[in-house]
Amino acid sequence: MKLTLLVAALPAASTALPTWPWTKPHSKPLKYPGLDVLAKRAGLLYFGTAIDNVVLDNKQYISIARNRSEFGQVTPANGQKWMYIEPTQGVFNYTLGDQITVPATRAGQLKRCHNFVWHNQLPEWLTSANWTKPALVKVLENHIKHEARHYYNDCYAWDVVNEAFDDDAAASLRKDIWLDTIGAEYIELAFKFARKYTRPGTKLYYNDYAIESVNNKSSKVAAMVKDFKKRGVPIDGVGLQAHYTVGRAPSYDAQMAAHKLFSRLGVETALTELDVRLQLPDNSTAQALQAQVYADSTKACLDADDCVGVTVWDFWDPVSWVPDTFPGYGNADIWDANFTKKPAYYAISDLLRSYD
The residues annotated as belonging to the active site are: 163, 273
Count of other CB atoms within 10 angstroms of residue 306: 18
Are 76 and 121 a contacting pair, CB within 8 Å?
no
Distance between CA 151 and CA 82 in Å, rounded?
Answer: 14
Pairing mode, strands 46-51 and 307-312: parallel
Which residue intervals of 81-184 are DSSP H helices?
Answer: 82-85, 95-106, 124-127, 133-150, 177-181
- Per the CB < 8 A criterion, the answer to whether 244 and 279 are in contact is no
Please, are residues 5 and 323 in contact by the beta-carbon 8 Å criterion? no
Distance CA 205, CA 208 (A): 10
Q: How far apart are the first and last CA of the chain?
A: 33
Furthest C-alpha separation in the chain: 62
Separation CA 103–CA 304 (nearest Å): 31
The amino acid present at 143, given as its one-letter code, is H
Sign of CA dihedral 52, 53, 58, 63: positive
CA distances from 177 to 128, 182, 183, 203 (A): 10, 8, 9, 26
Provide the 10 A C-beta neighbour count for residue 99. 16
Neighbours of 108 (CB within 10 A): 9
